[in-house]
Structure 1
Amino acid sequence: MAYVKRGNLEKLNIGSNDSRWDKYIKFANATIDNPSVPIDEKLDVHLRGNSVHIYYKGGRILEIKRNALNLDYNYFYSKKEHQNIPRTWMRYMFDNDQEELRKRNISPEKCLSPSEVKRVWEELQEKRDMLLAMKTPEEYFKEAAKIMDEWSRALLDDSDIKHEERLLQQRISVCNRHMEETDFIVLDIEFAVTNDKSVSYHSEKYLHPRFDIIALQPRKNFRLAVIELKKGMVLRD
């Protein structure tokens, strides 16, 4: 398991043998050192505040809280199934946020009504609830991976650079865990520096600073490394 960032494990009761959710964490961790599991299909476990997040292909395939499992129903959303409308635009339509709609040149005749958008959200939530009702980690992760694969593929088709960076970030995380095999042991990804509201970016969009990767350097007396990850291109003559 990755770096324990925040939270009270005694209150969480996560990770003990009698925990209801222990089997999900064990299943996910077992994929890391299993050579039969491809790199992009490994499950990356991290503690986040008072919950455990399990990542797959750059997305959160499962959130484990003390009393419940959760999966963001937005992963089920497909533009192709909804008139090619981006999910964020759906939210603006539901909230009737005319300012945001105007910024994107979305005319009223192109908008769905709030009731139509509500029906879309309810359908997504129903799909999510059916998936979370599965009884075993094997069943859950097998079916959830299909949803996440579609979500990831759609972002790659749209040439989403941020998603490509998240994919690369997770590959680095799952491939750098053992000191005898790497110069960097990854402890955590997307490390939130603080929740203190007085510390923030100079941006309304990104309120709290995060580091892409936190790692230790075993060959340099376990020096701490703070890594910012950027995906670019190499120009050749």
Structure 2
Amino acid sequence: MPFDPPADREQPGPPLSPALRESRARMLAAARTVFERDGFHAARVTDIVHLGGLAHGGFYRYFESKEAAFQELAREASARLGTPLDGLRFEPGRLDGLDELMRASVRRYLEAYRLEARFLGLITQISCHDAEVRAIRADSRMRAVARHVEPVRQLQRAGLAESQVSPERMLLGLIGMVEGFADRSFPYGALDRDLATAVDQLSRLCLRAMRLPRGGDLPVGPRV
């Protein structure tokens, strides 16, 4: 069955003038500051417009609610973060250096997460009961799976990767493992001094889970 990436969820509206774009960006920046300071549930539109230097009605020119503003910020943050598999390639005959690529990809993801840990922690919290925010997080995962699923399937057929797990579930499992580790570590400062160790160990776990060769390891055969 083909694995299709999710359709784009945003519907383009009429273009804004440069002045309105600047006001909208200022409103979003103020909203993010208030969300991070007060938490989503305690955040008030009044505080957002006060910090943004706009009239109360100006907020509703751009957003129907504080939920809509949060969803827009979540979309932007998720796009900047990407997934732990961005920058990787899984192709038979091109596995040399895959361990270094995996390490670089995991490092990039964790460093990007660390820069926005406070807001990304809010996204994780709100996604538990907001279907739209949950879908925003899921979209980036599903795009990564769609990008890698066929190359991973080819590795399985060639006996170069774990063959008893579907490539879709394998990829989602790897993404979920690194995402979950970041979600449970960065918002609480657990990795402030030990990022290098986390990168190395998570990279090893990803490669071992797929049964992919590391460094000078020999390729593995298919499991019987």
TMscore range, shorter length: under 0.3
> Between Structure 1 and Structure 2, which shows a larger proportion of strand residues?
1
Q: As a proportion of its length, which structure holds more helix?
A: 2
TM, length-normalised to structure 2: 0.27
